[in-house]
Amino acid sequence: MKPIRKAVFPVAGLGTRFLPATKAIPKEMLPVVDRPLIQYAVDEAREAGIEQMIFVTGRGKSAIEDHFDIAFELEKTMSERGKDLSVLEPTRLGPGNCAYVRQQEPLGLGHAIWCARDIVGDEPFAIFLPDEFMHGTPGCMKQMVDAYHKVGGNLISVLEVPHEQVSSYGVITPGAQDGPLTEVRGLVEKPKVAEAPSNLIVSGRYILQPEVMRVLERQEKGAGGEIQLTDAMAEMIGTQSFHAVTFDGARYDCGSKAGYIQANLAVALERPDIAEEVRAFAIDLLQ
């Protein structure tokens, strides 16, 4: 079984649900308390043992490259003033640990992943959608990599949502279940509520075999006129093993406004430096 050494972060989307905030800054740079969403995703990847981060970027996303670079002037000034630089430590990704590839047109998530095919090469890889903020210990990808060591093949993280919400997501047809692992028998992107095979939705973390790139190469447009990763994965079911991992933790959809506020509140209430102040304010506000 080949180890999971590489992760793809598709960050070329337009972020239209978060306009005007995302007009000039990428959605992935929105902070949850004091760390941008993309930083949480990279930290989660590192915790899972992943070494190389591959960002699929687009126009207007250069803030992400700057974030993971060395900010020479900032660091020099901070050290001259005797300030602690350790807060910047997780933001450094050396040349051997990151790569950037451009998706020239936002043709969909499936197309964004396909843009990384040469860097991914012939090995299994992880995918992170950074606006899906997965909050738990161990992190979601660590839980998935542990499951991968048991069953191999392809894995997707899933969670249960109220049935009436399924039409916004990729939905699985579940098979046999064994603890957090569920066999995946089918996948459909944004089904009508009445036609959805379950209320288990795909939630932004994947471990896929490299063959998916070959499927994506000839993938037609699907839901929303976009090249869908879900459709490519659905095609692979039956030829390769596919499991879903139910994440033991909380998930916040930070691509939506309400989900983003929830994530900020949840993280703030766990932070020793600000929890007390935020809790008192929230109680006050609600009263």
45 binds ligand UTP (CB under 6 A): no
Distance CA 112, CA 12 (A): 7
36 binds ligand UTP (CB under 6 A): no
129 binds ligand UTP (CB under 6 A): yes
* Rounded least distance, CB 83 to ligand UTP, Å: 33
Closest CA relative to residue 160, chosen from 205, 203, 204: 203
- The residue sitting closest to ligand UTP, measured at its beta carbon, is 13
Which region holds residue 50: left if phi is over 0, alpha if psi is between -120 and 50, else beta?
beta
| Selected binder of ligand UTP within 32, 100, 108, 237 (CB under 6 A) | 108
Identify whether 20 is preceded by a cis peptide bond (ω within 30 of 0). Answer: yes
- Total number of residues binding ligand UTP (CB under 6 A)? 22
Residue 191 DSSP SS3: coil
CB 181 within 8 A of CB 243: yes
Residue with Cβ nearer ligand UTP (12 or 232): 12
| Selected binder of ligand UTP within 17, 67, 117, 221 (CB under 6 A) | 17
170 binds ligand UTP (CB under 6 A): no
Which ranges of the chain does DSSP label H, i.e. alpha helix? 37-47, 62-67, 72-80, 109-114, 117-120, 140-151, 211-217, 229-236, 257-268, 275-286
15 binds ligand UTP (CB under 6 A): yes
| Selected binder of ligand UTP within 7, 13, 48, 154 (CB under 6 A) | 13
Give me the residues paired with residue 100 across strands: 55
Residue carrying structure tokens 């929830």? 262
Applying CB under 6 A, the span of 5-13, 135-143, 261-269, 270-278 interacting with ligand UTP comes to: 5-13
| Residues 78-107 as x/- pattern, contact with ligand UTP by CB under 6 A | -------------------------x--xx
Residue with Cβ nearer ligand UTP (59 or 76): 59
Rg (CA), the chain: 19
Q: What are the structure tokens assigned to 271, written together?
A: 């932070």
| Selected binder of ligand UTP within 56, 188, 207, 208 (CB under 6 A) | 56
Binding stretches for ligand UTP (CB under 6 A): 10-18, 27, 56, 103, 106-109, 111-112, 129-131, 255
